[in-house]
């Protein structure tokens, strides 16, 4: 979320150092960050400040143009559905700057793990820490947590009777009660190059556009983590590329992403870290190039040999 005025850099830094944090309104019309600031697009959704009547301030936040590592730590997380143990004892520590990819065979527990991280599912045992903070699985904490993560599933989950814009606005206004909901929605539509489609209902959009709207909705809340569960698995190759491009572009903004994917080429190119999930365990969690070049476990070697064969 936006930083408070008391933590604003003009209170902390000499005047000469303030300049790089500001953009002139004319610069906002150029479509891309004119000075290499990852936070350029965020300026569009910054509320006006009495301190900067003629300029738009880029609020300081963790997502600065100097990426900071984010951390996910799982200790002995377990989950059983009925008598079927899905996560047996998941432990891993991941530190990454932008993207961690969960990959592994179907049924291995990736989606369950993602839903537990999203606070949508309770683990039976174990602990999860996000950026060092333990996630407590009690309703009040979970409600607050869910407001800080954006989740996109394979099926778009858009309301069919609402336009793209209304789909994005609805949670911003009714759940998060952002006073600047319209500016946020406009900014995120522009950022994902969807402005031309705001008035269309999901049935009038292509699969790729629908999934981009779902990503826009998740991003509009400015989430601490964007969690994507196989966002391209229902799409044809061209639409897959369109959505993967959007995800890759998020690196520029410093948005942390947790991605469940079967797109090995994309994970290899874009992820910093890979967690290999199989048979209810995270069997390896390592840097992406390390995982793809030198998988440590037999299970990972077999999996990669199978999926990279064709």
Among 111, 261, 273, 286, binds Mg ion (CB under 5 A): 111
Task: By CB under 6 A, tell whether 111 contacts ligand ADP.
Answer: yes
Q: Which is nearer to Mg ion, 71 or 233 (CB)?
A: 233
Residues in region 78-97 near ligand ADP by CB under 6 A: 81, 84, 86
Q: Which is nearer to ligand ADP, 43 or 260 (CB)?
A: 260
**Which partner, ligand ADP, Mg ion, none, binds residue 86 by CB below 5 to 8 Å per kind?**
ligand ADP
Q: Which is nearer to Mg ion, 111 or 167 (CB)?
A: 111
Task: By CB under 5 A, tell whether 112 contacts Mg ion.
Answer: no
User: Min. distance of Cβ 96 from Mg ion in angstroms?
Assistant: 21
User: Min. distance of Cβ 289 from ligand ADP in angstroms?
Assistant: 23
Task: By CB under 6 A, tell whether 123 contacts ligand ADP.
Answer: no
* From 102-110, 187-195, 287-295, 302-310, span contacting ligand ADP (CB under 6 A): 102-110
* From 7-15, 30-38, 106-114, 286-294, span contacting ligand ADP (CB under 6 A): 106-114
Task: By CB under 6 A, tell whether 159 contacts ligand ADP.
Answer: no
User: Min. distance of Cβ 154 from ligand ADP in angstroms?
Assistant: 10
Count of residues touching ligand ADP (by CB under 6 A): 10
User: Min. distance of Cβ 107 from Mg ion in angstroms?
Assistant: 8
User: Min. distance of Cβ 130 from ligand ADP in angstroms?
Assistant: 19
Task: By CB under 6 A, tell whether 122 contacts ligand ADP.
Answer: no
DSSP letter string, the chain? -PPPGGGSGGGTS-HHHHGGGEE-GGGGGGSS-TT--TTHHHHTTPPP-TT-SSSEE----SS-SS---EEEEEEEEEEEETTEEEEEEEEEEEEESSEEEEE-STTSSHHHHHHHHTTSS--SEEEEEETTEE---SHHHHHHHHTTEEEE-SS----TTS-HHHHHHHIIIIIS--TTHHHHHHHHHHHTT-GGGTT--GGGS-HHHHHHHHHHHHHTT--SEEEEESTTTTS-HHHHHHHHHHHHHHHHHT--EEEE-S-HHHHHHH-SEEEEEETTEEEEEEEHHHHHHS--SHHHHHHHHHHT--
CB of 98 closer than 8 Å to CB of 255: yes
CB of 126 closer than 8 Å to CB of 78: yes
Return residues touching ligand ADP (CB under 6 A). 81, 84, 86, 106-112
Return residues touching Mg ion (CB under 5 A). 111
């Amino acid at each position: 979320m936006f930083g408070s005025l008391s933590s604003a850099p003009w209170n902390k830094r000499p005047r000469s150092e303030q300049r790089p944090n500001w953009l002139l309104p004319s610069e906002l019309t150029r479509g891309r960050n004119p000075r290499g600031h990852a936070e350029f697009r965020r300026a569009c959704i910054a509320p006006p400040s009495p301190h900067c009547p003629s300029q738009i301030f880029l609020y300081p936040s963790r997502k600065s143009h100097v990426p900071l590592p984010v951390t996910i730590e799982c200790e002995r997380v377990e989950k059983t559905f009925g008598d079927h143990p899905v996560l047996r004892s998941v432990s891993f520590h991941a530190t990454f700057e932008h993207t961690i990819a969960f990959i592994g065979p179907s049924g291995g527990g990736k989606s369950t793990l993602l839903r537990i991280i999203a606070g949508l599912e309770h683990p039976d045992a174990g602990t999860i820490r996000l950026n060092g903070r333990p996630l407590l699985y009690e309703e009040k904490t979970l409600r607050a947590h869910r407001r800080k993560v954006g989740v996109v599933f394979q099926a778009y989950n858009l309301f069919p009777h609402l336009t793209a814009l209304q789909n994005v606005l609805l949670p911003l206004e009714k759940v998060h009660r952002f006073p600047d909901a319209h500016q946020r929605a406009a900014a995120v539509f522009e950022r994902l190059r969807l402005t031309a489609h705001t008035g269309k209902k999901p049935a009038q959009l292509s699969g790729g556009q629908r999934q981009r709207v779902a990503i826009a909705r998740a991003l509009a809340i400015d989430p601490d983590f964007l969690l994507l569960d196989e966002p391209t698995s229902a799409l044809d190759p061209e639409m897959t590329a369109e959505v993967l491009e959007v995800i890759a572009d998020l690196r520029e903004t410093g948005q942390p992403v947790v991605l469940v994917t079967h797109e090995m080429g994309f994970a290899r190119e874009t992820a910093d870290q890979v967690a290999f999930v199989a048979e209810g365990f995270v069997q390896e969690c390592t840097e992406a190039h390390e995982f793809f070049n030198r998988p440590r476990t037999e299970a990972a070697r077999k999996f990669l040999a199978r999926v990279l064969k064709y």
